[in-house]
Chains A and B, each alone.
Chain A
Amino acid sequence: MSIQVSPMPIPNPDEVSLKSALTDRDPYLTELLNQCQGLSIQLLLEPESISWIQELRDRAAAWVRQCILPTTKDEEWRFTDMSFLKQLTFRALPQRLELAASAVAPLTLSEAAHSRLVFVDGVYAPTLSSVASLPDELVISNLAGLPLAYRSRVRDYLATAQGAAEVFTALNTSGLIDVAVVWVPKHLIVETPIHLLFISTASGTPTISQPRCLVVAESGSSVTLIEDYLNQANIESPEEGEAEVGEAVYFTNAVTEICLEAGAQVNHTRIERESPAAFHIGKSAITQARNSRYTCNAITLGAKLSRHNLEVFQHGEQTETTLNGLVTINSQQTTDTHSVIALNYPHGTSTQLHKCIIADQAHAVFNGKILVPQSAQLTNAGQLNRNLLLSPRARVDTKPQLEITADNVKCTHGATISQLDKEEVFYLQSRGLDATAAHNLLINAFATEIINKLPVASLRQTLIAAVSHQHL
């Protein structure tokens, strides 16, 4: 079975109404949808934009009403049981907690002190955001802050990526209230990394929030993005107070679309460090025009259950795609990474290294699909999935999925599952490291290969510390 990356756009409402008998098939999903739709667009936008967004939402909602939540009977969700989700009722809250700048400070990056957009529960927080150090030509803001011309240009990009009909993506669109927009004009090279920080304030009642990003890198431009998901409790007590963090039950359903035009370069880091009881479903939909270069560093540390759908569609010749992934989980966490790279044109290359560290009874899933149709001659695709199991009850399900019909291509793939090497541990012990220190050094070494690829030094340090802390 193949991943359903449906090229199908979301059907328009008229078509949908014809099939009304088939709507509201999944009461749980309908309730989730009603919650999300209950949040209205409270942005100061001209009526034209508002009605366009409303239309987009309605169309997506009508589609969601025809869907059901995936179960383990779906090939794409075979190893990831979403039934946990259904045990909880999530509410979309219209009001968000006001966060003080001082409270958010520990989570900001010194390298991006004035190149940051902050969204709290999916709502733009202008007082916590600052873009002062970014070039004036760069367009970066929420929807309402966009220059008028861009508000209409956004329509050509938002919710247009392939795979928009996937149920969680459509759910996000159906409740769209705002968008973090980064628009890099032609030939602009943005050196300063941009931090897109999505904070959940959930603590008591389970809540859902649906962050949304749109990144357009025009031809010849270059930008570095850090998309970051976490809970406010991480801020208040990043060191101790884990019990408190553990109680925050919420659902983040995020969608990011990134469009690279000819010759553009995007270095995209995505960090999921939600609270341990959270649910996180994230979509990264990337469209690459010719000669563009896209790099993703996806780091997954948090959430009880998380899923990352990383989908890259090459829309021109000679594109370069690099996907680096690190999953590091413990206790009862489940993390599922489903990636798709569709190499549709000649001379494309893709390199993927996905690494998982799995402790306790945690469970990692990796499904790496690479499509090389007849049209994609002279492409070069490499994929490697390496898993480090730290306990006998840790589990990994890994599946490379290469669908190659072109004949003149070079494709390699591999998956390894290993434990800490006893001989390596002994070697370290024989030099005076105790067993814990030896384990730590080896686990960090495994993680560092990916973490070192991150473009921001302070983040590398934070993450290495987080990995050590997690597997102590």
Chain B
Amino acid sequence: MIVEKAQVVLSVRELTAEVEGTPILKGVNLEVKAGEIHAIMGPNGSGKSTFSKVLAGHPAYEVTGGEVRFLGQNLLELEPEERARAGLFLAFQYPMEIPGVSNLDFLRVAYNSRRKQQGLEEMDSFDFDELVREKLEVVRMNPAFLSRSVNEGFSGGEKKRNEILQMALLAPKLGILDETDSGLDIDALKIVAQGVNQLASPENAMILITHYQRLLNYIVPDFVHVMADGRIIDSGSKELALELESHGYDWVLEQAATEVGTR
């Protein structure tokens, strides 16, 4: 929802980044305010995941220019864990499997690191158990997944639900969901979408990276952006996603090209 005079959660200006010397992001601009849901669409390889990982602080990407402010702080100065603790959450397109680390332990450690940041006491295993069971409801996940290793042997859809479970626990100020809808069956998609809607509030914001209008039927975005070749080349309301769905990316790429041409 678009809220009058809402706090700016994320502000990205002319962000450029490269990996091993290859420029990937070539000047990204984006502003996200509290309460808003933004969708980023765009062809494969256009830099959507790169953008999300740069925001999360992945060490493989080097920021070469621009500025990112998160809740007023210079985000690029922070370590990945500091970003997380400050309330930034990325649901990965390909969540890692971590053999040997129990999902429950992992969730508890993550949850407590966020609490510590907020000046709260660590929650003991007993209380945490209760809390996590409550949150499992959000994504209708079987408690059996708690005793397994993090994502190990989880199906694609189960991994995605586990990401949303983490988001539900960490209650971020900004949730970035990188293709959380990919690989979900229709029921799972609805469950995940409901989960996200439940978590969305006037205090926080979401960025959904997706290829499909389908997700946006369930989570209605306030803004839709198109990323191509490391830039956001078009932004609009939720109708933009519908147009993309019927016309494809060529249409918007051409438009962008002519705009540049007529300038």
Q: B256 within 8 Å of A by Cβ? A: no
In chain A, what residue has the closest Cβ to B86? A432
Bound together, the chains give a CA A446 to CA B100 distance in angstroms of 6
**Contact indicator B110/A431 (Cβ below 8 Å):** yes
Distance in Å: Cβ of B5 to nearest Cβ of chain A? 30
List residues of chain A with CB within 8 A of the CB of B106.
Answer: 428, 431, 441
**Contact indicator A427/B98 (Cβ below 8 Å):** yes
A442 touches which one: B57, B80, B101 (CB < 8 A)?
B101
Known contacts A431-B84, A434-B79, A449-B100; decide if A426 and B59 are in contact (CB<8 Å).
Answer: yes
Q: B85 within 8 Å of A by Cβ? A: yes
Bound together, the chains give a CA A429 to CA B86 distance in angstroms of 12
List residues of chain A with CB within 8 A of the CB of B144.
Answer: none
B85 touches which one: A423, A426, A432, A448 (CB < 8 A)?
A432
Q: B99 within 8 Å of A by Cβ? A: yes
Residue from A441, A446, A448 with most neighbouring chain B CB atoms (10 Å): A441
5 smallest A-B Cβ distances: which pairs?
A445-B100, A432-B113, A431-B110, A429-B80, A427-B96
Chain A residues numbered 425-464 whose CB sits less than 8 Å from any CB in chain B: 426-435, 437-438, 441-442, 444-446, 448-449
In chain A, what residue has the closest Cβ to B83? A430
Known contacts A429-B79, A433-B109; decide if A424 and B57 are in contact (CB<8 Å).
Answer: no
List residues of chain B with CB within 8 A of the CB of A438.
Answer: 81
**Contact indicator B59/A422 (Cβ below 8 Å):** yes
List residues of chain B with CB within 8 A of the CB of A437.
Answer: 109, 113
In chain B, what residue has the closest Cβ to A449? B100
**Contact indicator B90/A441 (Cβ below 8 Å):** no
Bound together, the chains give a CA A421 to CA B95 distance in angstroms of 14
Chain A residues numbered 173-225 whose CB sits less than 8 Å from any CB in chain B: none
**Contact indicator B110/A433 (Cβ below 8 Å):** yes
Q: B13 within 8 Å of A by Cβ? A: no
Residue from B58, B59, B92, B98 with most neighbouring chain A CB atoms (10 Å): B98
Bound together, the chains give a CA A437 to CA B113 distance in angstroms of 10
Q: Which residue numbers of B lie inside 8 Å of A, CB to CB? A: 56-60, 79-81, 83-85, 89-90, 92, 95-96, 98-101, 105-106, 109-110, 113-114, 117, 149, 166, 170
Residue from B92, B95, B109 with most neighbouring chain A CB atoms (10 Å): B109
Q: A430-B89, A441-B105, A441-B106 are in contact. List 20 more A-B contacts (CB 8 A).
A: A422-B59, A426-B80, A427-B92, A428-B98, A428-B106, A429-B80, A429-B81, A430-B56, A430-B90, A430-B92, A431-B81, A431-B84, A432-B81, A432-B84, A432-B117, A433-B113, A441-B109, A442-B100, A445-B100, A445-B101
In chain A, what residue has the closest Cβ to B84? A432
List residues of chain A with CB within 8 A of the CB of B84.
Answer: 429-432
List residues of chain B with CB within 8 A of the CB of A433.
Answer: 81, 109-110, 113
Bound together, the chains give a CA A423 to CA B105 distance in angstroms of 19
Bound together, the chains give a CA A426 to CA B89 distance in angstroms of 13
Bound together, the chains give a CA A442 to CA B57 distance in angstroms of 20
Mask, A391-433, CB within 8 Å of B = 1, is 0000000000000000000000000000001111011111111
Distance in Å: Cβ of B172 to nearest Cβ of chain A? 10
Residue from B60, B81, B90, B109 with most neighbouring chain A CB atoms (10 Å): B81
- Count A-B pairs with CB separation below 8 Å: 74
List residues of chain A with CB within 8 A of the CB of B89.
Answer: 430
B166 touches which one: A421, A423, A426, A431 (CB < 8 A)?
A431
List residues of chain A with CB within 8 A of the CB of B170.
Answer: 431-432
In chain A, what residue has the closest Cβ to B80? A429
List residues of chain A with CB within 8 A of the CB of B113.
Answer: 431-434, 437
Distance in Å: Cβ of B14 to nearest Cβ of chain A? 24
Bound together, the chains give a CA A438 to CA B150 distance in angstroms of 13
Distance in Å: Cβ of A73 to nearest Cβ of chain B? 39
Bound together, the chains give a CA A359 to CA B166 distance in angstroms of 32
Bound together, the chains give a CA A4 to CA B258 distance in angstroms of 80
Distance in Å: Cβ of B146 to nearest Cβ of chain A? 15
List residues of chain A with CB within 8 A of the CB of B101.
Answer: 441-442, 445
B81 touches which one: A422, A435, A444 (CB < 8 A)?
A435
Bound together, the chains give a CA A427 to CA B57 distance in angstroms of 10
List residues of chain B with CB within 8 A of the CB of A427.
Answer: 92, 95-96, 98
Bound together, the chains give a CA A438 to CA B59 distance in angstroms of 15
Bound together, the chains give a CA A388 to CA B214 distance in angstroms of 44
List residues of chain A with CB within 8 A of the CB of B57.
Answer: 426, 429-430
Known contacts A429-B57, A433-B113; decide if A424 and B98 are in contact (CB<8 Å).
Answer: yes
Bound together, the chains give a CA A437 to CA B57 distance in angstroms of 17
Distance in Å: Cβ of A100 to nearest Cβ of chain B? 36
Bound together, the chains give a CA A25 to CA B64 distance in angstroms of 69
List residues of chain B with CB within 8 A of the CB of A421.
Answer: 96
**Contact indicator A432/B114 (Cβ below 8 Å):** yes
For this complex, 26 residue pairs linking A to B, each with C-beta atoms less than 8 Å apart, are A422-B60, A423-B96, A424-B96, A426-B58, A428-B98, A429-B57, A429-B81, A430-B56, A430-B57, A431-B81, A431-B106, A431-B113, A432-B85, A432-B117, A433-B109, A433-B110, A433-B113, A434-B79, A434-B113, A435-B79, A437-B113, A442-B101, A444-B100, A445-B98, A445-B99, A446-B100
List residues of chain B with CB within 8 A of the CB of A435.
Answer: 79, 81
List residues of chain A with CB within 8 A of the CB of B80.
Answer: 426, 429-430
**Contact indicator B110/A432 (Cβ below 8 Å):** yes
Bound together, the chains give a CA A427 to CA B97 distance in angstroms of 9
In chain A, what residue has the closest Cβ to B88? A430
Bound together, the chains give a CA A445 to CA B90 distance in angstroms of 24
Mask, A68-87, CB within 8 Å of B = 1, is 00000000000000000000
Chain A residues numbered 82-96 whose CB sits less than 8 Å from any CB in chain B: none
Bound together, the chains give a CA A331 to CA B59 distance in angstroms of 28
List residues of chain A with CB within 8 A of the CB of B109.
Answer: 433, 437, 441
Distance in Å: Cβ of A384 to nearest Cβ of chain B? 13
List residues of chain B with CB within 8 A of the CB of A429.
Answer: 57, 79-81, 84
List residues of chain B with CB within 8 A of the CB of A444.
Answer: 100
Bound together, the chains give a CA A445 to CA B102 distance in angstroms of 9
Bound together, the chains give a CA A437 to CA B82 distance in angstroms of 13
In chain A, what residue has the closest Cβ to B113? A432
Bound together, the chains give a CA A437 to CA B83 distance in angstroms of 16
Bound together, the chains give a CA A470 to CA B196 distance in angstroms of 42
Distance in Å: Cβ of B1 to nearest Cβ of chain A? 27
List residues of chain B with CB within 8 A of the CB of A428.
Answer: 98, 106, 110
Bound together, the chains give a CA A433 to CA B85 distance in angstroms of 9
List residues of chain A with CB within 8 A of the CB of B100.
Answer: 442, 444-446, 448-449
